Amino acid sequence: MPRIHRAKLYRPRLLILCFVLAVLGYFGHLSPQSTLKPGEKASATFLMVTRNKELSSVLKTIRSVEDRFNSKYGYDWVFASHEPFHEHFKIAVENLSSGKVQYELIEADKWGYPEHTDQERAKMIREKNKRRQMPHGESERFRLKNRYMSYEFAKLPALSGYKYYCHVEPFTELKCDIDDDFFAAMERQNKMFGFVDAAIEPKFTTESLWQATTRFTEEYSALIHANNSMQFVADRSAQRYSQCTFSTNFEIGRVSFFRSKEYAQLFELLDQNNGFFYERWTASNIHTIAVSLLLPRDVVMHVDPTGYTDIEGHISCPRVKSVHSQHKCYCDPDVQNAWSRFSCLPKWYAFTGLKDNYNMDQVKGLVPRFKAPKRKNRYDKKYQDTLNELFFDDDSTEYDYVDIDEQE
C-alpha cells in the first residue's frame, strides 16, 4: 500500500481552515467579541448632528438624556454641524453634559450634493412638493442631512475612538428612567444595532426605493445574510416594500458596521438613484434596509422602556402599570403609538419570534388613544393607504389594529 505524505493528508484541512479564517475576518464586524467586564462601561458616545439655531431644543434633549440615563454612566457627546459652533453653544451643552464633549465641523463635500444629482431638477421637485404640502417636501436641509446621516456620519474622526454611537435628534425626549446601561448590554450580547421606535414611512416618499434595493440584492446576493430580516422590510415574496423603518431619531449602532465595505456598497448603489433629492428618502430607510439585509436578526436589539418621544409625534410609553411606576415614567400610556397600527414594532416582534420575551399578553389588543392629524391634503390619504397595506400577510399576526377614523 503506497504511503501518503503527511503534508498531503493535512493540506485539505489547512485550506478549509484558511477559508474559515478569511470569512471570519471579512465579516468580523458582524460578530464582534465582547471583552467587557461586569460593571465596566462600553466604548460609546452620544452623537447629535445639529446647528447653532437649534440650541434650545438641543439643551432640552441633552437634559432629558442626562437625567434619565447618562448621569449614571457619564458617556461622552459628539456634536457635528456643517457650520462652526458658536462659543455660547459650546458652553451651554458642556454645562449639561456629564461626559467629555467633542465638536466636529462637517466638510462641505460631505454635506452637499453628489455629482450625479441634477440640482435644478431637485429644486423644482421641492417647489412642487411645497405646493402639494408634502411634509418636509420643500426642505433642502432635510434632504442633505438625511443623505449625510445615511453614510458619511460614520466617518467622523471623533467616532474613531468608539465602538458604538447613539444618535439623538434634537427635540427628542426620554420620559422614563433607563436603569440598565444599553451600551454595555449591546456590547456584552454582541449586538450591532439598537432601536427604540419602529415607524411607518409613507409610500409617496419612497416610490423607487425598493426597486433600487432589489437591484442590490440581485447584484450582491452574496452579501445578504442567511439569517436576515428581509420579511420585516418586505412582503414574503420580497416584491413590495413594507415601509417599516427603525427611527434614526434615537438609534444605537456599531461604528464599524456603518464604515464597512458591505454597507458602503449598499449605500452607493442606492444613492445613484437620487432618492434623497428626487423623492424623500431618509436615513431611517437606508439604515433599516441595511440592518435587515446585511446583519443577522439576532444582533438587533429593541431598547425599552424609554418613554421615547420625538418631533414627528412618535411616542413610546409602557402600558404595564408596574413598569411605568418602576421606571418613574411621566408619559401617558394611553396617548402613545408604539404598539398601534402606526408602528411596525408588533410586526418586528411577530416576525422575529421574540413576542414571548416581551410579555405580549400585556399589550395585545390594546389600542392607544392616539389622535392622528386631520387630513389636510392628498398625502394624508396616501399615508392611510400605507397603513392599510402595511401587514401583507394578515394571517401571520395575531395583533388587532383599528382604522384611523375610529380614533378621532
| Res 16: pLDDT | 52
CA distances from 65 to 12, 74, 80, 95, 141 (A): 55, 11, 18, 14, 25
Q: Work out the mean pLDDT of the chain and round it to a whole number.
A: 83
Strands (E), 96-242: 101-105, 164-168, 173-174, 193-195, 198-200
Residue 253: which H helix or E strand, with range?
A: strand 250-254
Q: Between 309 and 396, where is the model more confident?
A: 309
Asked if residues 162 and 41 have their Cβ atoms less than 8 Å apart, the reply is: no
Say if residue 384's pLDDT is above 80. Answer: no
The band of 364, judged by pLDDT with boundaries at 50, 70 and 90, is very low
The band of 235, judged by pLDDT with boundaries at 50, 70 and 90, is confident
Residue 84: which H helix or E strand, with range?
A: none
Note if the bond before 12 is cis, omega within 30 degrees.
no
Rounded-to-integer distance, Cα 183 and Cα 106, Å:
25
Asked if residues 349 and 383 have their Cβ atoms less than 8 Å apart, the reply is: no
pTM: 0.82
pLDDT-above-70 percentage for the chain: 78
| Res 13: pLDDT | 57
Rounded-to-integer distance, Cα 13 and Cα 33, Å:
25
Rounded-to-integer distance, Cα 388 and Cα 218, Å:
29
CA distances from 205 to 3, 44, 319, 380 (A): 69, 33, 31, 12
The band of 244, judged by pLDDT with boundaries at 50, 70 and 90, is very high
Say if residue 20's pLDDT is above 70. Answer: no
| Res 125: pLDDT | 95
Closest among 47, 109, 52, 106 to 82, alpha carbons compared = 106
Q: Where are the domains of the chain?
A: 44-302
The band of 178, judged by pLDDT with boundaries at 50, 70 and 90, is very high
| Res 35: pLDDT | 73
Say if residue 100's pLDDT is above 80. Answer: yes
253 φψ region: left (φ > 0), alpha (ψ -120 to 50), beta (else):
beta
Supply the DSSP string of 86-107, one letter for each residue.
PHHHHHHHHHH-SS-EEEEEPP
- Is position 207 annotated as part of the catalytic site? no
CATH class given for the domain over 44-302: alpha beta
- Exactly one of 66, 173, 201, 251 is catalytic; name it: 251
Q: Residue range 22-38: average pLDDT?
A: 56
Say if residue 164's pLDDT is above 90. Answer: yes
